[in-house]
Chain A
Amino acid sequence: NAGVTQTPKFQVLKTGQSMTLQCAQDMNHEYMSWYRQDPGMGLRLIHYSVGAGITDQGEVPNGYNVSRSTTEDFPLRLLSAAPSQTSVYFCASSYSHPNYGYTFGSGTRLTVV
Chain B
Amino acid sequence: RKEVEQDPGPFNVPEGATVAFNCTYSNSASQSFFWYRQDCRKEPKLLMSVYSSGNEDGRFTAQLNRASQYISLLIRDSKLSDSATYLCGYNFNKFYFGSGTKLNVKP
Q: How many B residues are at the interface, by size bracket?
A: 20 to 34
Please report A residues at the B interface, Cβ cutoff 8 Å: 31, 33, 35, 41-43, 45, 48, 50, 56, 58, 88, 90, 92, 94, 98-107
List A contacts of B93 (CB < 8 A).
50
Q: Is B49 an interface residue (CB 8 A)?
A: yes
Contact call B32/A99, Cβ cutoff below 8 A: yes
Contact call B92/A98, Cβ cutoff below 8 A: yes
- Among A33, A41, A43, find the residue whose CB has the most chain B CB atoms closer than 10 A: A43
Query: How many Å from the CB of B18 to the closest CB on chain A?
Result: 25
Please report B residues at the A interface, Cβ cutoff 8 Å: 31-32, 34, 36, 41-46, 49, 51, 87, 91-95, 97-100
List B contacts of A45 (CB < 8 A).
94-95
Cβ contact of A106, chosen from B42, B94, B98, cutoff 8 A: B42
Contact call A105/B95, Cβ cutoff below 8 A: no
Contact call B42/A101, Cβ cutoff below 8 A: no
Contact call B45/A43, Cβ cutoff below 8 A: no
Once the chains are docked, how many angstroms separate the CA of A100 from the CA of B92?
11
